[in-house]
Structure 1
Amino acid sequence: MAGEKETEKPTTVEEREEKEALKASGAELLGDGRHGLRINDWEIESNNRSILNSLEYQQWEEKLQTSHLPEMVFGKSSLVLLHVKSGIKIHFNTFDALAGWKKEGLPPVQVPAAAQWKFRSKLFQQVILDYDYTFTTPYRGSETVETNTEHQIGGIAEDGGCNLQWEDSTEQIDVVALSSKEPILFYDEVVLYEDELADNGVSLLTVKVRVMPSCWFLLMRFWLRVDGVLMRLRDTRMYCSFKKNADPTVLRESCWREATFQSLSSKGFPSDSAAYSDPNLISQRLPIVMQSTQKLKILR
Structure 2
Amino acid sequence: MEVLVDEKEIKAAGGELLLEGRRGLRIHGWEIESQNRSILNSLQLQQWEEKLQTCHLPEMVFGDSSLVLKHVNSGIRIHFNAFDALVGWKTEALPPVEVPAAAKWKFRSKPFQQVILDYDYTFTTPYCGSQSIEFNTENYSGDTLDEKSHHLQWDDCEQKIDMASLAPREPILFYDEVVLYEDELADNGVSLLTVKVRVMPSSWFLLLRFWLRVDGVLMRLRDTRMHCIFKDRGSPTVLRESCWREATFQAMSAKGYPSDSAAYNDLSIVSHRLPIIMQKTQILKVPDNCKAVTNC
TM-score exceeds 0.5: yes
Q: Does 1:179 align with 2:167?
A: yes
Q: Does 1:132 align with 2:126?
A: no
Give structure 1 regions of 4+ aligned residues with deviation exceeding 4 angstroms.
Answer: none
Partner of 2:142: none
Shift of residue 164, structure 1, vs aligned partner: 0.7
- Separation of aligned partners in 2, 1:189 and 1:180: 17
Partner of 2:109: 122
Q: Deviations over 1:88-107 (max 9, x none)?
A: 11000110000000010000
Partner of 2:25: 37
Shift of residue 81, structure 1, vs aligned partner: 0.1
* Aligned match for 1:293, one of 256, 281, 290: 281
* Aligned match for 1:232, one of 220, 228, 243: 220
The count of corresponding residues between Structure 1 and Structure 2 is: 276
TM-score, length of structure 2 as denominator length: 0.89
> Do the aligned partners of 1:257 and 1:283 also contact (CA within 8 Å) in 2?
yes
Partner of 2:143: none
> Do the aligned partners of 2:103 and 2:115 also contact (CA within 8 Å) in 1?
no
Q: Deviations over 1:92-143 (max 9, x none)?
A: 011000000001000001113x663314241324321111000000000001
Corresponding residue SS for 1:116: helix
> Do the aligned partners of 1:120 and 1:126 also contact (CA within 8 Å) in 2?
yes
Distance 1:86 1:65, change over 3 A: same
- Separation of aligned partners in 1, 2:170 and 2:159: 22
Shift of residue 297, structure 1, vs aligned partner: 4.1
Shift of residue 282, structure 1, vs aligned partner: 1.4
The percent of aligned pairs where both chains have the same amino acid is: 71
- Separation of aligned partners in 1, 2:36 and 2:102: 35
- Separation of aligned partners in 2, 1:172 and 1:255: 12
- Larger relative contact order (C-alpha < 8 A, sep ≥ 6)? 2
What CA RMSD, in Å, does the superposition of the two structures yield over aligned residues?
1.8
> Do the aligned partners of 1:74 and 1:191 also contact (CA within 8 Å) in 2?
yes
- Separation of aligned partners in 1, 2:233 and 2:39: 41
Partner of 1:106: 94
> Do the aligned partners of 1:35 and 1:45 also contact (CA within 8 Å) in 2?
yes
After superposition, residues 1-300 of structure 1 pair within 5 angstroms as: 18-112=6-100, 116-124=103-111, 125-148=113-136, 160-297=148-285, 299=293, 300=295
- Separation of aligned partners in 2, 1:53 and 1:20: 39
Unaligned runs of 5+ in 1: 1-13, 151-158
> Do the aligned partners of 2:235 and 2:285 also contact (CA within 8 Å) in 1?
no
- Separation of aligned partners in 1, 2:102 and 2:152: 46
Shift of residue 248, structure 1, vs aligned partner: 2.1
Corresponding residue SS for 2:104: coil
Distance 1:228 1:194, change over 3 A: same
- Separation of aligned partners in 2, 1:41 and 1:296: 16
Shift of residue 76, structure 1, vs aligned partner: 0.3
Give the partner amino acid of 1:81. Answer: L
> Do the aligned partners of 1:255 and 1:288 also contact (CA within 8 Å) in 2?
yes
Unaligned runs of 5+ in 2: 139-146, 287-292
Shift of residue 50, structure 1, vs aligned partner: 0.3
Shift of residue 69, structure 1, vs aligned partner: 0.3
- Separation of aligned partners in 1, 2:178 and 2:272: 24
Range 116-125 or range 46-55, more displaced = 116-125
Range 99-108 or range 172-181, more displaced = 172-181
